Amino acid sequence: MVTTVADDYRLHWQGRPLPADHHGRVLLGLSRDASGPIAVELEHLPSGRRWPFSYPLQPRDYAIQRIEGVPQQTVTPHPEQLARIRREAALVAAARSVSHTEPLYASGFQAPAQGPITGVYGSQRVYNGTPGRPHYGVDYAAPEGAAVVAPAAGMVVLAEPDLFYSGGTVIIDHGFELYSSFLHLSAVSVEVGQRLAQGARLGAVGATGRATGPHLDWRMNWGATRIDPLLVLAALPTASAVD
């Protein structure tokens, strides 16, 4: 959800204030399984008065995708690989632990790769016949080595060439707890701390990690909440296109 508030007002959700950028924009991300009406409070800062608002949430249906041919070790990891998986999960969590206070997302969003969409957010995945977690990204089919670009301006907070599940991985902080992750890259061409303009190349499409063929898996987070990148494209669009 993207909305705007006047300077002397503030929105609250689940007991926490939602920060507004210098344009008064406020971001709120909801999880795959969020349900019921969304309750927020609008506070008038000078007086402290609050008004509750409730917004209905449309239920979504999610498809089941059966995927064969992924490396079996990424479906049922060996015990000695679990320590690596835990270390890498902590590394990813740390990359998203502090967010930029500049609204770098204000450039708007474009698709990070060219190609047909072959996987969508929320779909239940079955790998080699074994049920797995839902898919939290959008998959773009593209040839090995095809350009992957920053969908919006941001700071690189993680750049790893070989994580167990996601292979070559880059995470960009767009500010205000909004993050993009790019998985299965065959090449990583950025470094942690690098500031990227919208459309800047950050890597290349690959099939590293748990993948059956070349594609880009683009994921987004609002804080710790995994959100649908296609909804962000709709809510914060730009007229730019991938070069």
Q: Which two tokens stand for residue 6?
A: 């006047």
- Percent of the chain's residues with pLDDT above 70: 94
Lowest mean pLDDT among 75-84, 123-132, 199-208: 123-132
Whether 98 maps to a domain, the answer reads: yes
In the predicted structure, residue 70 carries a pLDDT above the cut 80: no
Could you tell me the CATH number of the domain that includes residue 200? 2.70.70.10
Whether 26 maps to a domain, the answer reads: yes
pLDDT band at 77 (very low <50, low <70, confident <90, very high): confident
Q: Give the pLDDT score at 147.
A: 98
In the predicted structure, residue 240 carries a pLDDT above the cut 50: no
pLDDT tens for 120-163 read 998 877 777 776 778 899 999 999 999 999 999 999 999 999 99
The alpha carbon of residue 69 and the mean position of all alpha carbons in its chain are separated, in whole angstroms, by 26
Residues 108 and 17 both lie in one domain:
no
pLDDT tens for 209-239 read 988 899 999 999 999 999 999 999 999 988 5
Q: Would you list the DSSP string of 107-167? A: G-B--SS-S-EEE-TT-EEEETTEEEEEP-EEEEE--TT-EEE-SS-EEEEEEEEEETTTE
Q: Return the residue matching tokens 């049922």.
A: 76
Whether 9 maps to a domain, the answer reads: yes
Q: How many residues in total does the chain contain?
A: 243
Whether 242 maps to a domain, the answer reads: no
Residues 179 and 222 both lie in one domain:
yes
pLDDT tens for 167-179 read 999 999 999 999 9
Strands 64-67 and 38-44 turn out to be unpaired
Cα Rg, the chain, nearest whole Å: 19
Determine the average pLDDT of the residues in 92-102.
Answer: 93
Q: Give the pLDDT score at 12.
A: 96
Residues 185, 203: contact at Cβ < 8 Å?
yes
Helix, strand or coil for residue 53?
Answer: strand
Q: Return the residue matching tokens 């249906």.
A: 61
Q: Which has more confidence, 78 or 216?
A: 216
Q: Which two tokens stand for residue 242?
A: 């991938």
Residues 138 and 38 both lie in one domain:
no
Whether 241 maps to a domain, the answer reads: no
Q: Give the pLDDT score at 186.
A: 97
CA distance 207 to 96: 24
Whether 202 maps to a domain, the answer reads: yes
pLDDT tens for 9-68 read 999 999 899 999 988 999 999 998 888 889 999 999 999 999 999 988 887 888 777 777
Q: Give the pLDDT score at 137.
A: 93
Domain's final residue, options 10, 34, 55: 55
What is the domain range of residue 186?
A: 64-235
Amino acid of residue 85: I
| Cα–Cα separations (whole angstroms), residue 138 to 42, 56, 69, 182 | 33, 25, 20, 10
Residues 39, 54: contact at Cβ < 8 Å?
yes
Q: Which of 85, 87, 90 is nearest to 75 (CA)?
A: 85
Residues 38 and 92 both lie in one domain:
no
Provide the domain count of the chain.
Answer: 2
Phi/psi class of residue 107: alpha, beta or left (left: φ > 0; alpha: ψ in -120 to 50)? Answer: alpha
Q: Which of 77, 98, 104, 99 is nearest to 88 (CA)?
A: 77
Residues 77 and 43 both lie in one domain:
no
Residues 43 and 70 both lie in one domain:
no
pLDDT tens for 80-94 read 889 899 999 999 999
pLDDT band at 242 (very low <50, low <70, confident <90, very high): very low
Residues 146 and 180 both lie in one domain:
yes
Residues 96 and 203 both lie in one domain:
yes
The number of C-alpha atoms within 13 Å of 126 and in the hemisphere containing its C-beta is: 6
